[in-house]
Amino acid sequence: SSNSWTLVLRRAGLATEPSSPGEEALLKRVHAFLHVDDPQRVQAYVNLLSDDAPPYEELGQADQAYARMLFFNLWDNGGGFGSFAEGLAALRPQRALRDELRQVLSYVIGHADHVPLPLSDGLSAVPLKVHSSYNRSEILAALGIARLGGQMPRSFTQGVQWAEEFQTDTLLVTLEKDEKDFSPTVRYKDYAVSPHLFHWESQNAVSPGSPTGTRYQQHARRGSHVLLFVRRYSHTDTGKPQPWMLLGPATYVEHTGSKPMAITWHLDHPVPADVWSYSAAIQAS
């Protein structure tokens, strides 16, 4: 990407680090770190990008999870690597990239405007924070859905996903659905009803008696979880995919209709004021 600071320096003859094979493709992923807004994730990423980063196999469980998120954020198609350790080791020669990413992370955490809250009640091992922002690669990696040798983040397009490892339904909601991104058949009506209640429509195939519809209704007694992620638009002003904010765990309240089911979810944590302001406007429109 011509937006990369490293490439600007190279063109101006001001870069001190020589370029490494694969650098240009990786520099195109720098934009995918502009939303990283929780201190724990920033610290984990910075540690993994440092000159003396420990190898993957020496990391603790939490840092391995962050390492998988970092990996898939850089290589959403797996990068051709046979292991996460191999991918992270390939970053060692990429000194300029690592330096630029550390600078980006330092900048964005200084401008974060929400207080991240940890997940609990059976989800404490998930490396996600309530009211922090994530892109698709990070969400799928954090929940164990994206796997090397399995499905890659690049191949996911749906807005719902069951995470078997954590017994969690993941709902990815785009509030303002652009006609060019969403056909009329998937332009569901999703909005906050109040700071604690969210109106969400399931996929068209889901009826109350279907396995998925039943799980949505009975998740609390079954011991499974529902995580609701929202973003306002599909893309940012620069045309890049907009990340989702994790609104956090949700509990089934009621539903109407079938195919799709219109479900009201109760959020453990109130919707932040800025999200509430534009989501309420969508409901009114």
Sorted by where each starts, the structural domains of the chain and their CATH numbers stand as 5-109 (no CATH), 157-284 (2.30.280)
d(CA 73, CA 30): 9
69-109 per-position pLDDT tens digit:
999 999 999 999 999 999 999 999 999 899 999 999 999 99
List the structure tokens of 132: 């922090």
Question: Cα separation of 35 and 39, whole Å?
Answer: 12
Q: What is the pLDDT of residue 283?
A: 63
Confidence of residue 211 (pLDDT cuts 50, 70, 90): very high
Copy the structure tokens of residue 21: 């094979």
Q: Give pairs for 214-218: CB < 8 Å, separation 24+.
A: 215/169, 216/169, 216/252, 216/255, 216/261, 216/263, 217/252, 217/255, 218/252
> What 3-state DSSP class applies to 274?
helix
Q: Return the pLDDT at 277.
A: 84
Residue 243 has what DSSP assignment?
Answer: P
Strand partners, 257: none
Helix (H, G, I), strand (E, B) or coil at 22: coil
Task: Please tell me the predicted confidence (pLDDT) of residue 1.
Answer: 41
Mean pLDDT for the chain? 90
Q: What is the pTM of this model?
A: 0.91
Q: Is the pLDDT of residue 181 over 90?
A: no
pLDDT digits (tens, 9 = 90+) for 13-58: 666 676 777 788 999 999 999 999 999 999 999 999 999 999 999 9
Query: What six digits make up the tokens of 118?
Result: 């940890």
Please tell me the predicted confidence (pLDDT) of residue 7: 63
- Output the pLDDT for position 67: 98
Which has the closest alpha carbon to 196: 268, 122, 148?
268
pLDDT digits (tens, 9 = 90+) for 128-148: 999 999 999 999 999 999 999
Q: 111-120, 174-183, 198-207: which range is least confident on average? A: 174-183
Q: What percent of the chain has pLDDT over 70?
A: 88
Higher pLDDT, 221 or 112: 221
> What is the rounded CA–CA span in Å between residue 168 and residue 163?
5
Tens of pLDDT along 234-255? 888 878 899 999 999 999 999 9
Give 191-209 pLDDT, tens digit per residue. 999 999 999 999 999 999 9
In one letter, which amino acid is 126?
Answer: V
